[in-house]
Amino acid sequence: MDSISITGAKIFFEIPIFGGIPITETQVNSWIVMLAITILCLVLTHDLKVRPTSKRQIIAEWIVEKVTGLVSGNMGERFTYYAPFICAILGLSAFSSLSSLLGMYPPTADLNTIAGWAILIFCMITYTKIKTSGFLGYLKGYTEPFALFTPFNILSELGTPVSMAFRHFGNIVSGVVISTLVYAALASASTLLFGWLPGILGKIPFLQVGIPAVLSVYFDLFSSCMQAFIFSMLTMLYIANAASADE
Amino acid sequence: MELANAKAIIMAGCAIGAGLSLIAGIGPGIGEGYAVGKACEAIGRQPECKSSVTSTMIMGCAIAETTGIYGFVMGLLLMLLAPNLFIGKL
């Protein structure tokens, strides 16, 4: 039986400054994803007209309309200017997770990627809070309802990015781990069942045909889109919450 | 001999801890089952609300899953990270 291994991202090379900055598969794959999204945007927005004549422009308008509707529906009309950011997070997350369909290592299966996004969103939440209630008001918010609650408030504040990062990371990585385990199990099961067949026929893993695809539909397609949606949904809700804390 | 024993105990502790951390899957299982049951009731009562009930339920289920995912991540860390971390120091 083959041994199975579940590994993290491979390190391609190291930049020899500051004691060596490793360039991993995660980074390279997220560059590829960013490039793909940029090309998609360029293709969709190329040659726009007032009256849409091409299918491309209709798709682009549909995306903009949907995201604007989602943002203004969840955050209120005055936050519609967040729509490009939310769309960027949504697209980046969805495309990164879906890249595992092409056999790439999905950048979202690395905690560092999502922790980066979560820290960015945490900064935006804090910025929104300070902007709405002033710096002193922001500090005062930690002593609500009374001073004894300060440690718990700080803990729950720090828990926001951690929970967002772990939720997304855990969902994607559980898919990777379970797919690997099922794949290995099917390989050894088919060796056991069909290993007696003569010659090359005994070496073909018959059970591996088709069955992993069902798992892939759930873990890669459904779970990826779901997590991207939930991540952007939570971003919207947290920012909108931060802005309305004082009213 | 001493060192080998300590390593074995650490490995065993990590493996048992990883197994135990997956008990966290019970909570989301019960919670999601309850949510889906209630959603079915709601759809039975008002079939015209099916699409909005379904999307809200999926959203809620995915958020309820979080605690189970925490357990899974802890198990993963215990399996992959903790043995190297502790044994490297011995």
Q: What is the pLDDT of residues A166-185, one digit of tens each?
A: 888 888 888 888 888 888 88
Amino acid occupying residue B72: F
Interface test with B, best of A97, A108, A114, A174 (most B CBs within 10 A): A174
The residues facing A14 across adjacent strands are A22
Whether B56 maps to a domain, the answer reads yes
- For tokens 């120091």, name the residue: B89
- Band (pLDDT 50/70/90 cuts) for residue A1 is very low
Q: Locate all alpha helices (DSSP H) within A99-222, ordered by sequence.
A: 111-140, 150-194, 211-216
Q: Judge whether A115 is closer than 8 Å to chain B, CB to CB.
A: no
Domain count, chain B: 1
How far apart CA A60 and CA A71 sit, in angstroms, is 17
Tell if the CB–CB gap between A170 and B59 is shorter than 8 Å: no
Per-residue tokens: A44 = 């969709």
How far apart CA A23 and CA B39 sit, in angstroms, is 46
Position B31 scores a pLDDT of 92
| A87 has a pLDDT exceeding 70 | yes
Domain housing A97: 11-243
Position A34 scores a pLDDT of 92
Whether A2 maps to a domain, the answer reads no
C-alpha distance from A214 to closest chain B C-alpha (Å): 19
- Band (pLDDT 50/70/90 cuts) for residue A3 is low
- Locate the chain A residue with the closest alpha carbon to B60: A230
Q: What is the pLDDT of residues A207-244, one digit of tens each?
A: 777 777 787 888 888 888 888 988 998 888 888 888 87
| A57 has a pLDDT exceeding 60 | yes
Whether B80 maps to a domain, the answer reads yes
How far apart CA A216 and CA B6 sit, in angstroms, is 41
Tell if the CB–CB gap between B58 and A226 is shorter than 8 Å: yes
| B30 has a pLDDT exceeding 60 | yes
Alpha-carbon distances of A74 from A35, A121, A144, B57, B63, rounded to whole Å: 29, 17, 26, 17, 17
| A107 has a pLDDT exceeding 70 | yes
| B90 has a pLDDT exceeding 60 | no
Tell if the CB–CB gap between A174 and B62 is shorter than 8 Å: no
Amino acid occupying residue A84: P
* Cβ–Cβ under 8 Å, residues A75 and A236: yes
Q: Judge whether A174 is closer than 8 Å to chain B, CB to CB.
A: yes
Amino acid occupying residue A142: Y
Q: Which residue has the higher pLDDT, A157 or B84?
A: A157
Least confident of A32-46, A58-72, A185-199, B9-23: A185-199
The string of DSSP letters for A208-229 reads: GTTHHHHHHIIIIIIHHHHHHH
Whether B36 maps to a domain, the answer reads yes
Average pLDDT in chain B: 85
Residue A12 phi/psi, 5° resolution?
-80, -55
The candidate with the shortest Cα–Cα distance to A87, out of A240, A228, A242, is A228
Domain count, chain A: 1
Using a CB-CB distance cutoff of 8 angstroms, which residues of chain B are in contact with residue A163?
A: 66
Q: Kindly report the pTM of this predicted structure.
A: 0.80
| Best mean pLDDT range from A73-82, A173-182, A189-198, B23-32 | B23-32
Average pLDDT on A55-75 reads: 87
A13 — alpha (psi -120 to 50), left (phi > 0) or beta?
A: beta
Position B45 scores a pLDDT of 94
Whether B82 maps to a domain, the answer reads yes
Q: Chain A neighbours among B 50-79 (CB < 8 Å)?
A: 58-59, 62-63, 65-66, 69-70, 72-73, 76
Whether A3 maps to a domain, the answer reads no
Tell me how many degrees the CA angle A229-A234-A236 measures, rounded to the nearest 5.
Answer: 95
Using a CB-CB distance cutoff of 8 angstroms, which residues of chain A are in contact with residue B61?
A: none
| B89 has a pLDDT exceeding 70 | no
A28 burial type by CB count under 10 A (0-12 exposed, 13-18 middle, 19+ buried): middle
Rg (CA), chain A: 23
The pairs formed by B58-61 with CB atoms below 8 angstroms and a separation of 24 or more are B58/A226, B59/A229, B59/A230, B59/A233, B60/B35, B61/B32, B61/B35, B61/B36
Position B72 scores a pLDDT of 87
Whether B8 maps to a domain, the answer reads no
Q: What is the pLDDT of residues A5-30, one digit of tens each?
A: 777 677 777 777 777 778 888 888 88
Nearest by CB to residue A166, choosing from B58, B62, B70, is: B70
* Cβ–Cβ under 8 Å, residues B65 and B28: yes
Average pLDDT on A68-91 reads: 87
Q: How many CB pairs under 8 A join A and B?
A: 31
Find the CATH number of the domain harbouring B85.
1.20.20.10
Domain housing B82: 22-89
Average pLDDT on A157-161 reads: 87
C-alpha distance from A168 to closest chain B C-alpha (Å): 9
Whether B28 maps to a domain, the answer reads yes
